[in-house]
Structure 1
Amino acid sequence: MTTLIIVESPGKVGKISSFLGSDFKVMASVGHVRDLPKKGMGIDAPNFLLNYEPTERGEGVIAKLKAQVKQSDRVLLATDPDREGEAIAWHLAEALNLKKRERITFGAITKDKVLAAIADAHEIDMNKVHAQEGRRALDRIIGYRVSPALSSRTGLMLGAGRVQSPAVRLVVDREREIEAFKVTQHFGVDLVFNNEDQTTWKAAWNTKPHIAEGESYLLDKALAERVAGIKSVTVTKYENGEKSRAPSAPFTTSTLQQAAGTRLKFKPKKTMDLAQKLYEQGAITYHRTDSPNMDVEGMADIASYAESVNWPLSEKKRTWKSKEGAQEGHEAIRPSHAADLDLGETEDEKKLYRLIWERAIASQLQDAVYAVRTVELSGDVDGLPVAFNATGRTLVKPGWLAVYGDDEPDEDSEKESSNPIPQLAEEMPLAVDKGLMLSKKTKPPTRYKETTLVAEMERLGIGRPSTYAAILENISNRAYIVSDEKGYLRPSEIGSTVRDGLVNNFAFVNLDYTRTLEEQLDDIAEGKTSYYDVVSSAWAALDQELEKLNQVEFKIAHPCPECGKALGRRNGQYGPFWSCTGYPECKISLPDEKGKPGVKKAPPAPTGIPCPECGKDLARRQGEKKSKVKGVKPRKYDFYSCTGYPKCDKKFNTGPDGKPILTE
């Protein structure tokens, strides 16, 4: 008996095959084999049925799989364990005409997980399939209905997207916050004290009691200068204590992208590509997940490894609260086997694996413990009482920090330095070694980087973590946002135009829209609502919003010289040209000159030679005609035509003497 197992990625074939005997054949679909058509929306209203067709690559894949299906007694659909994978399994079943549709899933490519999945084959979850179709349909509908309308109104080739447009909005809005920001100069004071061992410690002035009403900062420079001149203070409070610091949760898709960007300087797409490879190699569990918690098996595996190297486990099993709206179908990202310290086939894969390994192992260990010393000081400046605060800490129990050694993770580091405060006592007088007046300026909001934009999208519920890399790639490739040399994101002029055309006109660009829609898609997946109800409602809303768009006043980049409406760049038979978006009422067209409308050539002057057909003047036309075939030189032309065109379309060749040949 031969069993065919169909996975998504060719990278999984070898690993899974190594777990199974000769009775199994493992093949890959290489992702989707069917999709909506490249041309046209592919969605029929009012029923909103999706018209699928084989992809260009999918046709060949389907043919190979059909041949193997004929030779197999059983077919198991082992596509990825998420909604997209569920939909791919259904497409495969449809394309291969499978009578029995058996689905298996596993969160890690290990022998025990794969064998357990084979023993637990089940039917395709059509609710999950319909949820995926809902997402696909809405993305298609918004793109195909809004993009042409937006392009027509502005004369620019613009694209709107359910999740890409809110992402662009975030970048544009942040840039405008920065432009509107007003810098405020304010002041503070640090007191410096010398220790006997030549070290120093500092105490900061508590400015709150001295800030003027209605202000947020101390603006009195003269007062700060006076406070900085204080020569002695008294200890009013002195405490020694301990502070625990818990580890972070294991990685979700989003936090992995953020940490890899911060620590390894990987872009989200690169992180996801590397994680895909590690998953296919069996090194890590499934890398598309919203859950920060590991399953019991994973915690037990890490506990076993930690005990073997004498690392202290947390007394209680650690769990973390998921973000609102999280899909927790899969556990957090972790190494498949904690004892594997160095996996990955390339240096970048090894770096990402180590990042995942450290985070997962650390999450199960005891808190790090610091000895913390706090001091409050008081003094007098010309009869004005002033107070100062200082805190110092020393690590006494490394706990989970033992996993990192000296390589403490950036995202968990604290601003508090060690600040070696000596043994003190209340009411003890202290001589100030030096007072430092601090001149500070408020800073505008920081521009997003790809990692911080991912964090903000996750916070707002825009999209799903598995889509963030694609969103960023899309809006970057379209040049709606640009990245500077330091990786900060700025909006382009065209990105700002997209934002302004959509905001206040379309619900999908509102920052809470996607969160609500994701909840509706979740309801489809759970059988609480239907694909039709969600999609038809969105379609109806767009009908009204598109009407509103006609009333919006846009800044037109290139107005038509005849009617004032926007000119739009089009691709013609012989290359790009510009035409009026008011067509057919306005039929003007202009040549393209380096991406901008050029000047239309004036018609050739009448020659005074009458047309033998209608008597109007002939005009001589000379020039070069571009070839539609790339690399072929333009063809020169030289002929006479009637200026009475289009009523008279007579043409005459030019003779050797430069005059028209009027006779046959």
Structure 2
Amino acid sequence: MGKDLIIVESPAKVKTIKKFLGNAYAVEASVGHVRDLPSKKLGVDEKDDFAPQYQIIPGKQKVVSKLKEAAASASTIYLAPDPDREGEAIAWHVAQIVQEAGVPVHRIQFNEITAKAVREALSHPRDINEKLFLSQQARRILDRLVGYKVSPILWQKVKSGISAGRVQSVALRLVVDREKERRAFVPVEYWNFKARLAADSPPEFEAELAKYQGKKLEIGSAEAAAAAEAAITGQPFVVTAVTEKERKKSPPPPFITSTLQQAANQRLGYSAKRTMGAAQKLYEGLELGDSGTVALITYMRTDSTRIADEARDAAREYITEALGPDYYPEKARHFRSKAGAQDAHEAIRPIDVRITPADVKTLLPKDLFSLYKLIWERFVASQMAEARFWDTAVDVTAGPGLFKAKGQRLIFPGYLKVYGQEAGDEAKSLPKLDKGQELTLLELKKEQKFTQPPPRYTEASLVRELEEKGIGRPSTYAAIISTLIDRDYARLEEKHFVPSELGETVSDLLAEHFVKIMDVGFTAGMEEALDAVADGRTDWVNLLKDFTEDFNPTLAKAAKDMAKVKAGKETDVKCELCGKPMVIRFGKAGEFLGCSGYPDCKNTKEFDRAPDGAVIPRERKAEEVASVGACPTCGKDLVVKKSRTGSRFIACTGWPDCKYTKPLSTGVPCPKEGCSGTLVEKSSKRGKVFYACDAYPQCDFAVWDWPINEPCPQCDSKILVRKKTRDGELITCPSKSCRYKRAVGGKKDEGEGEE
């Protein structure tokens, strides 16, 4: 009789599980999905109740063969993919593959990869949840129908090779609609006043004008501001009210997927994709020195704030021992999950609260350490006592003006001792003040301001919007955001999403012709319908029939009526060479202005959008006009240009007829041993410039800062880099273990040792 076989998703889990199960079980990995719909055809038989035509995913045949071989010698098979809808689908497909072995097949799941959790799961196996699998299958088929039927229309009408997605297109519409709101926004002028005041004792403090002539402050012009200033100036500033009270602030709940992605973006600058990749590694297990492979956090795709009683008890013990009993609340904390949350999983938390960030700092890569620290601190804080503040609010009257000032003093940090001060928590002291007391005016400042348009989405705010509107699920947020960037439908500028011309065009066309698909409410309702399939309240075939009943006629009408912009999107810009209108075209390198008289007139220009959306041709920069040589393909001048993502490159002035380009060389030889390449300027999809070897992928050497062909005088690095810091530009060593630096223009022997 062979060993029992456990099949997990990830090879990393194999190592973690084998550590505490030893040789009692065989453990194999499916390496994600093993079967899917075919990539080159629809793969769905709509006439046969949407029967899917699954096949082995290309490149997975060796994995499948290995699983079959392991199953053939097993006595029992336990399927243990991740505990969610996708994991259930993986389990279902693996079961179809190994069923020929003729041995019992069970489904097990665990929220954390520990010996206790895995053994508990093995002792309580279950059948595959058919309803949950059918819910995933319905989602997959819905996405396939939309993607494979709408995308060809976009190829014909807009640009070859682009695509539409059922959920991603709605997320794109949010980004595009926000941009349109910004363009339509009309700024309104307003003025504010601040008085710098002093009492009998320090400190000085600032009070802001809140009411004028008994009404809410509304001063909208320089004339009105001057009149208010004149009316207030010379008047005594008298304290008319002092209110003091204690305020308590409760800790936030432990992380769920969306709040983790938001906090990691805001506090660490991580993208949603980077956050989930790092969290996956922390969940699956990592080598921690003498401890071997250890899983550090619970499952990271969840929308529940529930935590296990034993985890709450462990947090109580840690808090009272490490910080003292005052830092634990009178009653243990319980958080209510939002309506509709899937409560099968706990919140994201450390598996063992006693493994502190300090314990693993030297054992984890920086990005994994920072994320673990964030998760650990949030969990511990969520179980701690409230922070307590002493708030003081003061009203100060000066003639027709009522000024207000607020001060606060931290009485007891509570959870802030672990999670850190948040915006607004910093101390703001006021002097001792009494009603009727006259203050000394040190300065009266007035400032002209204008109302601001709604801000563009960051990754954090877009995830929050998707969650609030019910678009997508925890497992899909990162993929939605990555898809917008990868398809060139949007780009990140200073961490904010800006729709590309292509993205805006696609969104507008889809919104015009596919009203339901692009409707936020409809998309959220579809998520609820898919949840109903998982709960057994809705039949998946009927759901798809209801969808296609409206979708198919809409599809046919769109193919006929959708405007064709492939030849160019009209603008008001006139070609300076021939006088014809210029149009926006979508090329391989992005959007550009091209003459509508092409091919007779081949004038092209880059362009920008004005705040109101008007197209503004971009004047060629001096660096683009200056020739840097002759094109080896056609002989025309070569110029330096800048890509959409920020890096510079060399291009032929004969474009688009001549498409010769090459990266901008730094002239610095690649320092990697045995490499004959040269470092060139590149940029990531997210717009960060770096310098990499032009022999990639054979050589993967790269640095973030401009390289200098000079060896480091303190270590064996063959290059230095020029780096911008808060102290100005410095020449530094790129090696993290070397602290050599000198000021730009400084002597080559001005290195500094350890600080």
The 3-state SS of whatever aligns with 1:512 is helix
The 3-state SS of whatever aligns with 2:513 is coil
1:239 is aligned to 2:243: yes
Aligned in 2, Cα 1:221/1:66: closer, same or farther, shift over 3 Å?
same
What does residue 98 of structure 2 align with? 96
Task: Pick one of 479, 493, 498 that aligns with 2:501.
Answer: 493
- Residues 374 and 391 of structure 1 are in contact (CA less than 8 Å); yes or no, is this contact kept in structure 2? yes
* Inter-partner Cα distance in structure 2 for 1:13 and 1:594: 59
1 or 2 for the larger relative contact order (CA 8 Å, sep ≥6)? 1
> Alpha-carbon deviation of 1:544?
2.5
AA paired with 2:9? E
Aligned in 2, Cα 1:43/1:188: closer, same or farther, shift over 3 Å?
same
1:35 is aligned to 2:24: no
- Residues 189 and 228 of structure 1 are in contact (CA less than 8 Å); yes or no, is this contact kept in structure 2? no
1:483-509 deviation digits (Å, cap 9, x = unpaired)? 22x122111111011111111432121
Task: Pick one of 302, 316, 326 that aligns with 2:341.
Answer: 326
1:465 is aligned to 2:474: yes
1:525 is aligned to 2:544: no
What does residue 550 of structure 2 align with? 541
Aligned in 2, Cα 1:419/1:345: closer, same or farther, shift over 3 Å?
closer
> Alpha-carbon deviation of 1:418?
3.1
* Inter-partner Cα distance in structure 1 for 2:242 and 2:376: 41
1:115-141 deviation digits (Å, cap 9, x = unpaired)? 111111010000000010011111101
Task: Figure out how many residues of one structure are paired with residues of the other and give that number.
Answer: 558
1:267-299 deviation digits (Å, cap 9, x = unpaired)? 111110000000001100000000123122221
Aligned in 2, Cα 1:402/1:176: closer, same or farther, shift over 3 Å?
same
What does residue 308 of structure 2 align with? 295
Aligned in 2, Cα 1:551/1:37: closer, same or farther, shift over 3 Å?
closer
Task: Pick one of 349, 353, 360 that aligns with 1:338.
Answer: 353
What does residue 386 of structure 2 align with? 367
* Inter-partner Cα distance in structure 1 for 2:604 and 2:257: 40
What does residue 145 of structure 2 align with? 141
- Residues 176 and 504 of structure 2 are in contact (CA less than 8 Å); yes or no, is this contact kept in structure 1? yes
AA paired with 1:400? Y
* Inter-partner Cα distance in structure 2 for 1:420 and 1:227: 29
* Inter-partner Cα distance in structure 2 for 1:287 and 1:140: 26
1:24-44 deviation digits (Å, cap 9, x = unpaired)? 111111001101101111110
**Greater Cα shift, 355-364 or 297-306:** 297-306
- Residues 152 and 568 of structure 1 are in contact (CA less than 8 Å); yes or no, is this contact kept in structure 2? no
1:276 is aligned to 2:255: no
- Residues 6 and 80 of structure 2 are in contact (CA less than 8 Å); yes or no, is this contact kept in structure 1? yes
AA paired with 1:473? S
* Inter-partner Cα distance in structure 1 for 2:52 and 2:386: 52
Aligned in 2, Cα 1:230/1:389: closer, same or farther, shift over 3 Å?
farther
1:222 is aligned to 2:226: yes
Task: Pick one of 284, 306, 318 that aligns with 1:305.
Answer: 318
What does residue 63 of structure 1 align with? 65
Bigger radius of gyration, 1 or 2?
1
AA paired with 1:305? Y
Task: Pick one of 99, 104, 126 that aligns with 1:122.
Answer: 126
Q: How does 1:436-585 map to 2 (within 5 A)?
A: 436-484=445-493, 486-506=494-514, 507-550=516-559, 552=561, 554=563, 556-558=565-567
What does residue 45 of structure 1 align with? 46
1:402-442 deviation digits (Å, cap 9, x = unpaired)? 114xx43xxx422x753322222222222322211122221
* Inter-partner Cα distance in structure 1 for 2:342 and 2:479: 19
What does residue 408 of structure 2 align with? 393
* Inter-partner Cα distance in structure 1 for 2:219 and 2:543: 49
- Residues 158 and 498 of structure 1 are in contact (CA less than 8 Å); yes or no, is this contact kept in structure 2? no
What does residue 317 of structure 1 align with? 332
- Residues 228 and 437 of structure 1 are in contact (CA less than 8 Å); yes or no, is this contact kept in structure 2? no
AA paired with 1:223? A
1:49-97 deviation digits (Å, cap 9, x = unpaired)? 1110011232111111111112111110011000100110010000111
Task: Pick one of 392, 399, 420 that aligns with 2:429.
Answer: 420
> Alpha-carbon deviation of 1:328?
2.3
The 3-state SS of whatever aligns with 2:20 is coil
The 3-state SS of whatever aligns with 2:151 is helix
The 3-state SS of whatever aligns with 2:275 is helix
> Alpha-carbon deviation of 1:448?
1.4
What does residue 188 of structure 2 align with? 184
* Inter-partner Cα distance in structure 1 for 2:62 and 2:531: 34
* Inter-partner Cα distance in structure 2 for 1:227 and 1:303: 59
1:311-346 deviation digits (Å, cap 9, x = unpaired)? 411222323333343222211100000000134631
Task: Pick one of 238, 246, 252 that aligns with 1:248.
Answer: 252
The 3-state SS of whatever aligns with 1:84 is helix
1:359-379 deviation digits (Å, cap 9, x = unpaired)? 000000010000111111223
* Inter-partner Cα distance in structure 1 for 2:42 and 2:469: 29
The 3-state SS of whatever aligns with 2:476 is helix
AA paired with 1:307? T
AA paired with 2:41? G
Unaligned runs of 5+ in 1: 561-565, 572-589, 597-664
- Residues 198 and 205 of structure 2 are in contact (CA less than 8 Å); yes or no, is this contact kept in structure 1? yes
* Inter-partner Cα distance in structure 1 for 2:345 and 2:480: 22
1:76 is aligned to 2:78: yes
The 3-state SS of whatever aligns with 1:524 is helix
The 3-state SS of whatever aligns with 1:5 is strand
AA paired with 1:443? Q
**Share of identical aligned residues, percent?**
37
What does residue 21 of structure 1 align with? 22
TM-score for the superposition, normalised by structure 2 = 0.70
RMSD: 2.7
- Residues 350 and 376 of structure 2 are in contact (CA less than 8 Å); yes or no, is this contact kept in structure 1? yes
**Greater Cα shift, 340-349 or 13-22:** 340-349
> Alpha-carbon deviation of 1:552?
4.2
Unaligned runs of 5+ in 2: 286-294, 570-582, 589-598, 606-755
* Inter-partner Cα distance in structure 1 for 2:306 and 2:126: 25
* Inter-partner Cα distance in structure 1 for 2:310 and 2:336: 19
* Inter-partner Cα distance in structure 2 for 1:503 and 1:156: 20
What does residue 398 of structure 2 align with? 379
1:355 is aligned to 2:374: yes
